[in-house]
């Protein structure tokens, strides 16, 4: 275990590898911002029994590992988010299913334009070029509403490649995020 001062010096100087793997140090979060840039949050228990959280950010290279550019102390906070999980609607044979099977994203997207657009784009998560993209459409169907979720790989150079489309339902869960401490 390290003292609070030793942890502070490691964070101030961006020395991730001085902390990783030590007793009392745990990786609690790693987020890839694109193919080569990531951030990792370490939870560190000091010899003074303080719990500190430090976020390190840097570029990843498969040959050399991660070159950490900077680090800051952060604190955890909880956030309730809505996500969408797959459901099945076996009694539903419509044009919607046909377009989903074709992975015809443009069919759904085109129905979100204008004041009287029948569909709504209710969720979009894009992890950047070459990474995952998720889009959810709200589709009115008779007296109920269904959600159609598209998953694929985003490309800023070519068309996005859609790999899956299915019916989904919203659900809420709590995530722990980390914000910078000034």
Residue range 4-29: mean pLDDT, rounded: 89
pTM value is 0.56
In sequence order, the 6+-apart residues with CB closer than 8 A to the CB of 65 are none
Q: pLDDT tens digits for 39-80?
A: 899 999 999 999 999 999 988 877 777 888 889 999 888 888
pLDDT at 135 over 90: yes
Q: pLDDT tens digits for 155-173?
A: 888 889 999 999 898 888 8
| Three-state DSSP state, 141 | strand
* Secondary structure percentages of the chain, helix, strand, coil, to 5: 15, 55, 35
d(CA 76, CA 54): 10
Q: Count Cβ atoms within 10 A of the Cβ of residue 177 and give its class: 0-12 exposed, 13-18 middle, 19 or more buried.
A: middle
Locus of tokens 């290279």: 61
d(CA 148, CA 145): 10
Q: What are the structural domains, with CATH classification, of the chain? A: 4-79 (3.10.450), 81-174 (no CATH)
Phi then psi for residue 9, to 5 deg, are -65, -40
In sequence order, the 6+-apart residues with CB closer than 8 A to the CB of 111 are 117, 118, 119, 137
d(CA 117, CA 124): 18
């Amino acid at each position: 275990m390290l003292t609070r001062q030793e942890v502070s010096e490691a964070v101030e100087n961006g020395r991730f590898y001085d902390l990783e793997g030590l007793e009392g140090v745990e990786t609690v979060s790693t987020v890839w911002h694109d193919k080569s840039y990531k951030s990792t949050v370490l939870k560190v228990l000091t010899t003074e029994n303080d719990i500190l959280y430090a976020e390190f950010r840097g570029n990843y290279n498969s040959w050399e590992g991660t070159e950490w550019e900077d680090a800051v102390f952060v604190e955890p906070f909880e956030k309730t988010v809505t996500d969408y999980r797959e459901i099945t609607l076996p009694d539903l044979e419509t044009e919607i299913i046909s377009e989903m099977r074709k992975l015809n994203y443009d069919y759904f997207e085109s129905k979100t334009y204008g004041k009287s657009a029948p569909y709504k784009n209710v969720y979009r998560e894009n992890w950047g070029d070459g990474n995952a993209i998720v889009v959810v459409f709200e589709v009115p169907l008779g007296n109920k509403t269904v959600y159609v979720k598209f998953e694929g790989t985003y490309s800023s150079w070519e068309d996005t490649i859609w790999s899956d489309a299915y019916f989904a339902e919203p659900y809420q869960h709590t995530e722990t995020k980390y914000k910078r401490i000034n």
